[in-house]
Structure 1
Amino acid sequence: MKKNNLIIAILLLLNLSYAQNNFQKIDVIYELNYKISKQDSTDIRTEDFLLSVDNGVSIFNSINFRIGDSITKNSKNLADIYKIPKTKFTNTIEKNRNNSLMTYYQKVGTDRFKYIDTLPTFEWKLINDEKKIGEYICKKAITNFAGRNYVAWYSLDFPVFDGPFKFYGLPGLIFQIYDTSNDYNFNLKNIKTPINQSVFDKNSYKKLTKDDFFRWVNKYKNNPELLLKNSPIQLSEEDMKRVKIKYLEKSTYENNPIELTD
């Protein structure tokens, strides 16, 4: 009996090892549906994101941002600027589970900065419940993070202990995760093994301390005219005032961030 149990244990370990090696590199596309304003619950917007996992290190950012960033870097024609898709998300999150560090990258205007922090800790509670998402049986877990309570559904068929945004640490890939107010809802759209792994240019970002990083972000929030400091578009003082008023009105309306607390 003991011998049979040992054989079963060895087979389970071999299967787990194969599965982990089989999914060392994977691209996952998520669709995010989110409410941008606390005042208007009917204003629900949608954007696709790419999670690229490579041996315990993942990069997560907006697909529109990736496209726009590529156009900006490679374009030699001013007309190509009009091809840049709109995105509210110009940030990138790198999670490194090998050293428990997270690097947060942000582009605002023509400036790019980053800071390094420890990976956030998630206290997941695994729930004895399951549902089918596509062809896969997913299991339920709950947690709270940055002022929101979340429900997650993950699949043991994909031993990729990662997910969208800053989420990670479940026994399988997160297929869906949403907060209980349904302000932010990530849904998996596609999984594939990358043929040509897209390269994220980390070297174009200047490293700051976390405190200096947020001082920089707040500086742009309070002085939106800085967004145009290196722009080929030259505005009159009167036009600049109108741009600032419109920007501040937009910022006041878009007041429902995914993280409610630091």
Structure 2
Amino acid sequence: MRLTLFFLIISINFLFSQKDSSRIECKYLTSFLIDTTDSYTRKQEITSLLIGDHVSLFRSDAKARYDSLTNANVSMAVPKNGTYTIDFSNIPKAYFIQEIYYKNHNPIVYDKILNIVFAFEPENKIEWKLVNDTKTISTFTCKKAVGKYGKKQITAWYTDEIPFQEGPYNFKGLPGLIVEAYDENDFFHFTLKSLKNIKKPIEPITFSMKTDYPKFVKKRLDFQKDPIGAFFASTGRTVSKEQQERIIKMHRSKNNHLD
């Protein structure tokens, strides 16, 4: 990774000056629990941080593929007896759903409840405290910082060898790129795996319902209390008792939220 770092920093002032496109893509291995009471629910996904001029986007690669393939399948769906049948069998499942879009230092979080995408400004922001501690991660000399994000205590390791005040999720503002970050219980863990110069579009989600964070949290809690009612209200479909039990168990176990 260090071999390409010199060319990465040198070329950054010359490449990809178009607005709302990336200069650099950072890949993080993101590890997280679905259910904080069950260690067997731990998932891992590759997530991407796209960094451009005054704009950035953090999202799961699996979710990006899911969205792309879903849109393609919808566009190719053939009506039968007045209804559309969409094949989801070839679409990989994504578990890390939230996307964080920054423009001119203004963050927007996109999250999903059933088939509705909500957009809101996060209420939580870290006030970092720099700690006199270092360690080597990959080939980078990293420095330690800690801070509270909501109710979570976050530890971050950043390197000033990569002079961007960026990092995974909504973790920004340190004197260098965050290489690793995690909470005190290791319910979420982000580790930088690669970075490269690349030009990719950075765009917010077009179709979303604007709300604020307290209203979104209430909707999420209401859904977890009565997922069957929310499912019926959204789809108009009734399900068997066995399916109801499975839906209730699945959604009530999703209790690990980073926001």
Tell me whether 1:113 sits opposite 2:132 in the alignment. Answer: no
Contact 2:25 2:48 in 1 (8 A): yes
Aligned to 2:4: none
Between Structure 1 and Structure 2, how many residues are aligned? 235
Counterpart amino acid of 1:242? E
Cα shift at 1:179: 1.5
Counterpart amino acid of 1:151? T
Structure 2: how far apart are the matches of 1:206 and 1:43? 29
Structure 2 spans left out of the alignment, 5+ residues: 1-8, 16-21, 78-84
Contact 1:60 1:92 in 2 (8 A): yes
Aligned to 1:143: 147
Counterpart amino acid of 2:252? T
Q: Report the CA distance shift for 1:213/1:179 in structure 2 as closer, same or farther (over 3 A).
A: closer
| % identical aligned pairs | 26
Contact 1:116 1:209 in 2 (8 A): yes
- Aligned counterpart for 1:74 among listed residues 69, 72, 75: 72
Cα shift at 1:212: 3.7
1:221-257 alpha-carbon deviations (Å, 9 max, x no partner):
32345447676xx96x452x43332122123333333
CA RMSD of aligned residues (A): 2.8
Rg bigger for which structure?
Answer: 1
- Aligned counterpart for 1:184 among listed residues 170, 178, 188: 188
Q: TM-score scaled to structure 1, two decimals?
A: 0.77
Structure 1 spans left out of the alignment, 5+ residues: 1-16
Contact 2:112 2:118 in 1 (8 A): yes
1:182-235 alpha-carbon deviations (Å, 9 max, x no partner):
22111011111223x14545221122344443344344332345447676xx96
Aligned to 1:193: 197
Cα shift at 1:133: 1.6
Aligned to 1:14: none
1:88-136 alpha-carbon deviations (Å, 9 max, x no partner):
222211133x3x4221112333322212356x43221112222222222
Aligned to 2:249: 249
Deviates most, 211-220 or 81-90? 211-220
Determine which structure has the larger helix proportion and give its number.
Answer: 1
Structure 2: how far apart are the matches of 1:225 and 1:74? 30
